């Protein structure tokens, strides 16, 4: 075989090899691109509909996107293809004249009418529909529903308020002087028969923040609760003329007899909805405080130990502990002027401390 023929055969085989290699590489690249497209779609779905790009990032997209020619239409996903073409035609950071114009109808509402809408919303229990009716009565018919809603939102007002309904905050403020709340807190107590869960029933005066422990038991039945209520009439004696009120949750340990006994003291019972501890914040706050500052620091051995811990802490809580909701002042203790030597009164093995000038 001649040298020329050998060269021709080798050249043909080499070309076929290169073709096969190129096909393999192309197929692999296609698979990689398809994978990256799927991954990009997933990532985009996590980011939301719009991805904000900087001018520098836009220029990078243009630099590599233009090299792909028309294929960019099938690949681009960070922006639409029309947006990409606009960057090409008008340059990065520029827009055609029709897009520079502000979208939507221009504001034609006069300042006087806007102030009137705001006034009607603030002075009355009205939403946007009721405001429209009042404006119509005043021969002002140029405003649409959406315009009134926009004016209210821009000024931090709810377009559909429930101002006609009583709010819980307003309810609390009306009865603040004579408002009480009650609840239970629990603690695992180690007894001779093993660990038992003890329950403590307490009442808290919302105005003074003072707490009264009505009773402690490991068997909190309705009968037991009713028995404790018969001993607390002194709590509700007040010179305030407003209605006295007691907030409680829907715990099955409270019964109709409980409500009737409380009513016998001239106190109305207000039951909060199911699973709404936020509507009984003062009682819930005390539960968190006594656990965090006292009970969580101890293994309790026996009922008497449990009673001792509660007695010591509530005495501190009702007298010398500063309360953030009471201007950070103690409920009873009147601090002396900064004179003498700084002293510290320690309770419960140093768990709670009271500092004073002596």
Query: What CATH code is carried by the domain that includes residue 317?
Result: 3.30.420.10
In a domain, 13, yes or no: yes
4 token code pair: 């020329």
Same domain, 40 and 12: yes
pLDDT in tens, 147-191: 888 888 888 777 776 544 555 555 555 555 688 999 999 999 999
In a domain, 287, yes or no: yes
In a domain, 344, yes or no: no
| Residue 48: band (very low, low, confident or very high) from pLDDT cuts 50, 70, 90 | low
| Residue 336: band (very low, low, confident or very high) from pLDDT cuts 50, 70, 90 | confident
Residue 96: CB atoms within 10 Å: 10
Instruction: Specify the higher pLDDT residue, 83 or 28.
Output: 83
pLDDT of residue 101: 47
Same domain, 180 and 326: yes
Same domain, 157 and 209: no
Same domain, 128 and 112: yes
Domain end position, chosen among 77, 100, 123: 100
Residues 341 and 50: their CA atoms lie apart, in Å, by 65
In a domain, 95, yes or no: yes
Residues 28 and 49: their CA atoms lie apart, in Å, by 31
pLDDT of residue 358: 75
Indicate the range of 9-23, 69-83, 165-179, 333-347 predicted with least confidence.
9-23
Same domain, 157 and 287: no
Query: Is 223 in a helix, a strand, or coil?
Result: helix
Same domain, 109 and 84: no
Same domain, 33 and 81: yes
In a domain, 337, yes or no: no
Residues 62 and 55: their CA atoms lie apart, in Å, by 11
- Judge whether residue 42 has pLDDT over 90: no
- The residues, any chain, with a CB within 8 Å of residue 148's CB and separated by 6 or more, are 117, 128, 131, 132, 135, 159
Q: Is 236 exposed, middle or buried (0-12, 13-18, 19+ CB in 10 A)?
A: middle
Same domain, 69 and 121: no
27 token code pair: 């197929």
Answer positive or negative: Cα dihedral of 69, 74, 75, 81: positive
pLDDT in tens, 90-107: 766 555 544 444 455 545
Number of domains in the chain: 3
74 token code pair: 């099938």
pLDDT in tens, 235-281: 888 766 667 899 999 999 999 999 999 999 999 999 998 888 888 98
Same domain, 21 and 80: yes
In a domain, 249, yes or no: yes
What integer best gives the mean pLDDT of the chain? 81
Domain end position, chosen among 118, 138, 165: 165
Do 213 and 201 contact (CB within 8 A), yes or no?
yes
Best CA proximity match to 201, nearest among 244, 265, 127, 258: 258
In a domain, 352, yes or no: no
In a domain, 89, yes or no: yes
Do 203 and 225 contact (CB within 8 A), yes or no?
no
Same domain, 286 and 229: yes
Domain end position, chosen among 165, 195, 210: 165
For 230-269, give the DSSP string: TT-GGGG--S--SPEEEEE---TT--HHHHHHHHTTTEEE
Most confident of 61-70, 161-170, 177-186, 303-312: 303-312
Residues 189 and 219: their CA atoms lie apart, in Å, by 13
pLDDT of residue 58: 82
Same domain, 148 and 273: no
- Give the mean pLDDT of 344-358: 88
- Judge whether residue 113 has pLDDT over 80: yes
Same domain, 235 and 307: yes
95 token code pair: 């827009």
Length of the chain: 358
Range of the domain at 187: 172-332
């Amino acid at each position: 075989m001649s040298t020329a023929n050998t060269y021709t055969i080798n050249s043909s085989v080499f070309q076929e090899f290169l073709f096969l290699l190129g096909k393999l590489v192309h197929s692999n690249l296609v698979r990689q691109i398809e994978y990256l497209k799927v991954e990009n779609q997933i990532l985009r779905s996590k980011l939301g509909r719009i991805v904000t790009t900087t001018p520098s990032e836009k220029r990078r997209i243009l630099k590599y996107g233009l090299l792909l020619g028309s294929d960019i239409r099938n690949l681009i996903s960070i922006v639409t293809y029309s947006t990409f073409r606009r960057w090409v035609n008008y340059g990065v950071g520029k827009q055609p004249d029709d897009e520079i114009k502000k979208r939507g109808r221009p504001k034609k509402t006069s300042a006087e009418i806007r102030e009137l809408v705001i006034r009607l919303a603030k002075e009355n229990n009205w939403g946007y529909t009721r405001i429209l009716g009042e404006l119509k009565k005043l021969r002002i018919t140029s405003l649409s529903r959406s315009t009134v809603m926009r004016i209210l939102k821009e000024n931090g007002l709810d377009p559909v308020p429930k101002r006609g309904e009583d709010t819980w905050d307003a309810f609390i403020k009306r009865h603040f002087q004579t408002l009480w709340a009650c609840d239970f807190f629990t603690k695992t107590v180690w007894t001779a028969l093993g660990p038992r869960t003890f329950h403590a029933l307490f009442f808290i005066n919302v105005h003074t923040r003072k707490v009264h422990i009505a009773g402690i038991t490991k068997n909190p039945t309705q009968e037991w609760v009713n028995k404790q209520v018969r001993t607390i009439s002194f709590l509700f004696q007040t010179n305030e003329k407003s209605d006295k009120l007691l907030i409680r949750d829907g715990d099955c340990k409270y019964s109709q007899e409980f409500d009737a006994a409380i009513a016998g003291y001239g106190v109305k019972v207000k039951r909060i909805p199911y699973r709404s501890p936020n509507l009984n914040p003062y009682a819930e706050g005390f539960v968190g405080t006594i656990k965090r500052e006292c009970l969580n620091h101890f293994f309790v051995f026996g009922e008497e130990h449990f009673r001792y811990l509660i007695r010591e802490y509530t005495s501190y809580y009702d007298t010398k502990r500063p309360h953030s909701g009471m201007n950070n002042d103690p409920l009873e203790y009147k601090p002396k002027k900064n004179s003498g030597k700084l002293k510290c009164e320690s309770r419960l093995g140093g768990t709670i401390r009271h500092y004073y000038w002596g």
